[in-house]
Amino acid sequence: MISKKLSTWLPILTWGQQYNRNTLVSDLLAATIVTIMLIPQGLAYALLAGLPPEAGLYASVAPLLLYALFGTSRVLAVGPVAVVSLMTAAAISEQGALSSASPWAIAITLAFLSGALLLLMGLLKLGFLANFLSHPVISGFISASGLLIAASQLKTIMGVRADGQHFFDILSALALQMSQTHLLTLSIGVSTIIFLFWMRKGLKPLLLRAGLGLRLADSLAKAGPVAAIAVTLTLTWWLEWQTQGVKIVGAVPQGLPPLTLSLWDPTLLKQLALPALLISIVGFAESVSVGQTLAAKRRQRIEPNQELIALGASNISASLSGGFPVTGGFARSVVNFDAGAQTPAAGIYTAVGIALASLFLTPALYFLPQATLAATIIVAVLSLVDLTIFKRTWKYSKADFAAALSTFLVTLALGVELGLVTGVTVSLSLFLYRTSRPHIAEVGLVPGTEHFRNVLRHSVLVDPRLVSLRVDESLYFANSKALEDQINQAMATMPTLQHVVLLCSAINDIDASALESLELIESRLLSAGITLHLSEVKGPVMDRLKHTHFLHHLSGQVFLTHYQAIQALSPNLTSQTQSVT
């Protein structure tokens, strides 16, 4: 019997016990499909990150094994993904200018830092931090990243050299190089793009009409990149396109992932801290969202804080084996799920598949044109670009629109890190701004009832010697001044005022600053000869207030209901018939 505690930390102990022949067959089938998909993606994302192609294979072995040990999702496919590779590229190009370390050494250090941060967040149960990435911010960020990645691949498609880190820099650099376009490379790239789009959109209906099953049609349609690689590689080898200036992948070292160690340069570690944190949070948010969606389909659950530990271990293993930052990717996880993966063992088989590929397959990739990989990246990332978010948020909420648009524009114009930081800052600021202006309504008695309504919207009874204020929000430091203001205004504009009654039914919490404000309000009212009363204070709030100076020295009373307050303080109001608004 395995202790429950241990199997929380090592979910493999739970599912491993029920492993049988059926799950083995399902997992092996899924792993085969994912491996075929992962080989070109690994190579392509390594190039996107600015690393040698084999780094993509190395990042697809150890991390998968570690995730299989620690992960709680049954079907998450961990490895290099587009957005994280782009963020890695950005961090490398920033550091490249400042440090003498090689890009690969920086990537390994980044994977280590990011893994350590994820592990730490997991141990401290800080998974909730990813919740502060709002949906509009993520959408704006992912769309902008998709465009940035696509733009960065255009130079490979055109066969030119063009530097530039940000979207508009890249486009203007490309415009200057337009005349240098290498036409054969461009033809390979463009025809691959067209072919891949057709495989995505055109092939599946064709296969379905030809009588194939939906699942098979789907899987075949997703084999596009493999077909494109096979065809362009064969053509290049046969027609010797590399002698005509087509850039090829070239010699990829054969062998298992090497043992590599993170750099321990304090300056470098410090400068990589922010990129590593952002990569961790974005990677975690993407991974957890895919994992949760797929788990829910089978009524399973994933444990976000354990996922942090699993992803942390995966990234540390990536840094120890020549890889770069990885996470659970959307596309491959869905394929893994659809192909019938039952347990994380599918990840282990995929890792074995990639290890075999890096042992034996790499010589076969020698003649693969880089433009083919660039084309597969472009087609993959353009599906991430979804500009409808702007229209939807504009209609639904201007604050969400502002967060989405600022993230999108800053990411394009100034890069992934600033974009993300801007988005989080804007969305938190707008949230704080909203909560700092609570809705405070002056209410009056609805004639003939015991109900109170806003004096601005309803014909209600009020008493010029008494004002009733309903606060529609918990009181905390940022909004308690608004209550002070409203009461100051009532004091200044109602010369006959004798009583202020706060209707507290919607106040779930009062923090120390708000308590201070209430004391201040009370003493200001008192010095002007006005009494402060409360009504309908919630139980937990009352429990807290009971021990305070405020309640002991309150000039007025605390009423159970607001109607009781009005009965006591303005007995004539209930008998009044005429509206005084």
Sheet containing 499-503: which strands, arranged edge to edge? Answer: 452-454, 440-445, 466-471, 499-503, 531-535, 558-559
Query: Judged by CB, which is closer to a copy of itself: 93, or 555?
Result: 555
Query: Judged by CB, which is closer to a copy of itself: 561, or 567?
Result: 561
Query: Judged by CB, which is closer to a copy of itself: 267, or 435?
Result: 435
Query: Judged by CB, which is closer to a copy of itself: 185, or 479?
Result: 479
Phi, psi of 553 (to 5 degrees): -105, 10
Query: Judged by CB, which is closer to a copy of itself: 177, or 505?
Result: 505
Q: Least CB distance from residue 308 to a copy of itself, whole Å?
A: 14
What's 259-313 look like in SS3? CCCCCCCHHHHHHHHHHHHHHHHHHHHHHHHHHHHHHHHCCCCCCHHHHHHHHHH
Contact yes or no for 568/533 (Cβ under 8 A) = no
Q: Least CB distance from residue 62 to a copy of itself, whole Å?
A: 30
Query: Judged by CB, which is closer to a copy of itself: 463, or 522?
Result: 522
Alpha-carbon dihedral of residues 46, 86, 319, 9, nearest 10 degrees?
A: -120
Q: Least CB distance from residue 74 to a copy of itself, whole Å?
A: 12
Query: Judged by CB, which is closer to a copy of itself: 413, or 551?
Result: 551
Q: How many Cα atoms within 13 Å fall on the side-chain side of residue 326?
A: 40
Q: Least CB distance from residue 111 to a copy of itself, whole Å?
A: 26
Helix or strand run (H / E) with residue 327: strand 327-328
Query: Judged by CB, which is closer to a copy of itself: 75, or 482?
Result: 482
Please report the DSSP string for 501-569 in residue order. Answer: EEE-TT---B-HHHHHHHHHHHHHHHHTT-EEEEES--HHHHHHHHTSHHHHT-SS-EESSHHHHHHHH
Query: Judged by CB, which is closer to a copy of itself: 55, or 389?
Result: 389
Contact residues for 488 (Cβ-Cβ < 8 A; gap 6+): 524
Beta bridge partners of 559: 535
Q: Least CB distance from residue 508 to a copy of itself, whole Å?
A: 7
Phi, psi of 170 (to 5 degrees): -65, -45
Q: Least CB distance from residue 473 to a copy of itself, whole Å?
A: 8
Contact residues for 541 (Cβ-Cβ < 8 A; gap 6+): 504, 507, 508, 509, 510
- Which positions lie near a copy of itself, rule CB under 8 A? 128, 130-137, 292-293, 295-297, 299-301, 304, 392-393, 395-397, 399-400, 427-428, 431-437, 472-473, 476-482, 484-485, 488-489, 491-492, 495, 508-509, 511-513, 515-517, 520, 524-525, 527-528, 544, 547-548
Q: And the tokens for 296?
A: 């829910």
Lookup result for tokens 């600022």: 406
Q: Least CB distance from residue 287 to a copy of itself, whole Å?
A: 14
Q: Least CB distance from residue 286 to a copy of itself, whole Å?
A: 14
Gap between the Cα atoms of 32 and 223, Å rounded: 12
Q: Least CB distance from residue 33 to a copy of itself, whole Å?
A: 22
Q: How far from chain centre, in Å, is Cα 411?
A: 14
